[in-house]
């Protein structure tokens, strides 16, 4: 009788990439990179949010003494820089990273290692920027950037860089410029990666006319990144040359021009605004149809109005500069282009409402956030169009009216869009549903908080309260409105705590999601939750804009009834 000889098992040390930590650090899987982007973005959101609370606490009362002027300036600068470069951009890149390849039926991004490189640049860029708080400069305050997220020259130059007259040698602006360079390289890498992925790796049959709208908007955003970021990168390099090698690009004393900085910055900065909002447009263009049980209304118009916005976004930058003394005829040009860009934006809003109209509207958390997005973004759109009215802009630019506008767009718009996306795709990423009840609580708290914080700021602007002031006198009628805004900010903070709690309990004991909890339409739901490394066992074949709907409803498939 033969005996089975047990072979001694080969004991070898796990390679680093096989350990749990290593599997994240060494990964080139778009899903893991996507999750790391989202985590980095969300953590930055908390940091930027704490900075916002500090600002609102300082401004809760007139003549507040919570922050010194120098610290206040650092905090508001880092709030803007963090929210834009370290929260919204990584968050949207992360969602795109996770979802876009799944949506188009691909197995990964086109350049997985460039993808990983892009993420690590963002992470270290974020750590680098925030490490500035740990260094003390010659003015006795930390070396955190202190010139605003726009960092206008010549306040960024050596002789004024400390914020305090007569003190030189501060490195605050160097931290900012170097951090922005790192993040800019990352954005260009990820933009390039998305463009190639979306143009080259789509499943068979998925023509550009059938690409899901989130993917469309990510594609447009990626082109904007590729064409807008170089301007910022060049400006940051010129600033560093000015500061350290004795050039005078922005120094009027030597016939340089401070306005050159503004032109370079805003010719990046305005496309940037659309970089921050277009992916959110995409998210809600996915969520609204699924929860209305209808296809998106006017797919072509939503996609192409996105393209129109993309082109026009490069022609409107000087509407940030109406007060700098440009010739009236040039201002008329920028007022006209700004008016034009409102048209495709309005078309999108109408199409979203038409998608809801006539549907069977299920008010689950993702849908609430998507509807909240429309309601709030509309306000940001209207007061934004008002800012294109140049003589009115002369009065309200650089006041709290603009703070109100930009937060209705970026918080009411982008952040609501991001939460719609997180509630929608969380089950795909984790296999667990994110609790709907807590989602409803979070939504209503956030909606109230946003309006309580940002609506009074319209009025503060009309009453003449400038932006970026660390305190204000008590006799100008600003007190109640500022207090209201501060209360609102803490309600928003509470809503974020509800979200964090919801994530924790849902991961521990949430409902199993299954592959397709929302009875959705697009390909990312046609695979396991979370998907395997290879995404799809077999690459699906696409015959319409709603391939997964077609598979589930073969009798009334879109490709039988609609022509696209």
Which positions from 376 through 415 interact with another protein, judged by CB under 8 A?
A: 378-379, 382-383, 385-386, 388-399
Q: Which two tokens stand for residue 208?
A: 């550009």
Whether residue 161 contacts residue 173, with contact meaning beta carbons closer than 8 Å, is answered with: yes
Is 272 in the active site? yes
- Within residues 301-320, the interface with another protein by CB under 8 A covers 301
Check binding of 343 to another protein (CB under 8 A). yes
Count of residues engaged in binding another protein, rule: CB under 8 A: 109
Q: Residues 99, 30: contact at Cβ < 8 Å?
A: no
C-alpha 89/C-alpha 186 separation (Å) is 10
Catalytic-role residue among 31, 32, 79, 407: 79
Nearest-approach distance from CB 423 to another protein, in angstroms: 17
Find the binder of another protein among 39, 50, 164, 201 (CB under 8 A).
164
Is 149 a catalytic site residue? Answer: yes
Please give, one letter per residue, the 3-state secondary structure of 193-209.
HHHHHHHHCCCCCCCHH
* Total Cβ atoms within 10 A of residue 352: 26
Nearest approach, Cβ of residue 437 and another protein (Å): 11
In the set 82, 93, 285, 453, the catalytic residue is 285
CA distance linking residue 371 with residue 2, whole number of Å:
72
Q: Which of 272, 393, 524, 558 is catalytic?
A: 272
448 counts as binding another protein under rule CB under 8 A: yes
Radius of gyration over every alpha carbon of the chain, rounded to an integer in angstroms: 25
Q: Is residue 186 annotated as a catalytic residue, yes or no?
A: yes
Q: Which one of the listed residues 31, 202, 270, 294 is annotated catalytic?
A: 270
Using the structure block, give the residue that is written with the tokens 């009628």. Answer: 477
Is there a catalytic annotation at residue 30? Answer: no
Which residue in 342, 494, 505, 551 binds another protein (CB under 8 A)?
342
Q: Specify the length of the chain in residues.
A: 564
Range 468-527, binding another protein (CB under 8 A): 468-472, 475-478, 480-481
Closest approach of another protein to the CB of residue 484, in Å: 8
Q: Does residue number 155 form part of the binding site for another protein (CB under 8 A)?
A: yes
- Give least dist CB 152 to another protein, A: 6
Among 62, 69, 112, 530, indicate the residue that binds another protein (CB under 8 A).
69
- 274 catalytic? Reply is yes
CB-nearer residue toward another protein: 18 or 519: 519
Contact of 343 with 381, CB cutoff 8 Å: no
Question: How many Cβ atoms from other residues are within 10 Å of residue 564's Cβ?
Answer: 12
Give whichever of 125 and 517 is closer to another protein, judged by the CB atom: 517
Quote the DSSP letter at residue 389.
S
**Known active-site residue 337:** no
**Alpha-carbon span 556 to 176, nearest angstrom:** 55
Asked if 62 touches another protein (CB under 8 A), the answer is: no
Q: Between residues 431 and 449, which has the closer beta carbon with respect to another protein? A: 449
The dihedrals phi and psi of 249, each to the nearest 5 degrees, come to -60, -40
437 binds another protein (CB under 8 A): no
Q: Among 8, 166, 437, 554, which residue interacts with another protein (rule: CB under 8 A)?
A: 166
**Distance between CA atoms of 399 and 466, rounded to whole angstroms?**
4
State yes or no: residue 336 binds another protein (CB under 8 A): yes
Q: Is 405 a catalytic residue?
A: no
Give the CB-side neighbour count of residue 483, counting CA atoms within 13 A.
Answer: 8
Residue 387 CA: distances (Å) to CA of 318, 327, 336: 12, 18, 12
In the complex, the smallest distance separating the C-beta of residue 527 from another protein, rounded to whole angstroms, is 24
Q: CA 416 to CA 395: how far, in whole Å?
A: 30
Query: In this structure, how many other beta carbons lie within 10 angstroms of the beta carbon of residue 541?
Result: 12
Q: Looking at the annotation, which residues are catalytic? A: 79, 108, 149, 186-187, 270, 272, 274, 285, 319-320, 345, 348, 467
């Amino acid at each position: 009788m033969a005996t089975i000889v047990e072979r001694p098992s080969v004991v070898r040390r796990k390679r680093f990439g096989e350990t749990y930590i290593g599997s994240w650090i060494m990964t080139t899987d778009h899903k893991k990179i996507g999750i790391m982007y989202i985590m980095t973005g969300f953590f930055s959101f908390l940091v930027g949010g704490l900075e916002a609370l500090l600002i609102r606490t300082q401004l809760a009362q007139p003549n507040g003494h919570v922050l010194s002027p120098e610290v206040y300036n650092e905090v508001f600068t880092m709030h803007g820089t963090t929210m834009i470069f370290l929260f919204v951009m990584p968050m949207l890149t992360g969602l795109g990273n996770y979802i876009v390849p799944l949506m188009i039926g691909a197995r990964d991004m086109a350049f997985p290692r460039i993808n990983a490189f892009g993420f690590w640049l963002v992470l270290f860029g974020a750590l680098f920027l925030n490490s500035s708080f740990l260094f003390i400069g010659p003015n006795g305050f930390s070396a955190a950037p202190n010139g605003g997220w726009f960092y206008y020259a010549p306040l960024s130059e050596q002789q004024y860089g400390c914020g305090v007259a007569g003190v030189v040698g501060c490195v605050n602006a160097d931290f900012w410029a170097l951090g922005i360079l790192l993040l800019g390289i990352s954005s260009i890498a990820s933009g390039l990666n998305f463009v190639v992925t979306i143009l080259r790796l789509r499943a068979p049959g998925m023509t550009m006319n059938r690409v899901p709208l989130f993917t469309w908007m990510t594609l447009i955003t990626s082109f904007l990144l590729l064409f807008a970021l170089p301007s910022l990168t060049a400006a940051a390099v010129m600033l560093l040359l000015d500061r350290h090698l004795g050039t005078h690009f922005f120094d009027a004393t030597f016939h340089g021009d401070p306005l050159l900085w503004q032109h370079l910055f805003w010719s990046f900065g305005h496309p940037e605004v659309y970089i921050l909002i277009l992916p959110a447009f995409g998210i809600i263009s996915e969520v609204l149809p699924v929860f209305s049980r209808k296809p998106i209304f006017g797919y072509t118009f939503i996609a192409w109005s996105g393209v129109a916005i993309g082109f026009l976004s490069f022609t409107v930058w000087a509407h940030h500069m109406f007060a700098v003394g440009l010739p009236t005829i040039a201002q008329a040009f920028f007022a006209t282009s700004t008016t034009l860009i409102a048209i495709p934006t309005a078309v999108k809003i109408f199409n979203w409402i038409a998608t809801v109209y006539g549907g069977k509207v299920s008010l689950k958390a993702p849908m609430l956030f998507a509807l909240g997005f429309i309601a709030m973004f509309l306000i940001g759109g209207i007061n934004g169009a008002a800012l294109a009215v140049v003589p009115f802009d002369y009065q309200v630019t650089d006041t709290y009216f603009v703070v109100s506008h930009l937060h209705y767009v970026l918080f009411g718009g982008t952040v609501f869009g991001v939460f719609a996306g997180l509630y929608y795709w969380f089950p795909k990423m984790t296999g667990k549903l994110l609790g709907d009840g807590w989602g409803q609580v979070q939504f209503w708290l956030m909606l109230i908080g946003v309006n309580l914080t940002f609506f009074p700021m319209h009025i503060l602007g009309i009453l003449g309260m400038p932006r970026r002031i660390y305190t204000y006198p008590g006799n100008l009628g600003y007190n109640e409105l500022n207090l209201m805004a501060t209360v609102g900010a803490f309600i928003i903070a509470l809503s974020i705590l509800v979200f964090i709690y919801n994530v924790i309990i849902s991961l521990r004991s949430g409902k199993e999601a299954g592959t397709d909890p929302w009875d959705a339409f697009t390909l990312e739901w046609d695979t396991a939750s979370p998907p395997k490394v290879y995404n799809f066992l077999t690459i699906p074949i696409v015959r319409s804009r709603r391939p997964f709907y077609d598979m589930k409803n073969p009798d009334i498939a879109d490709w039988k009834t609609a022509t696209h």
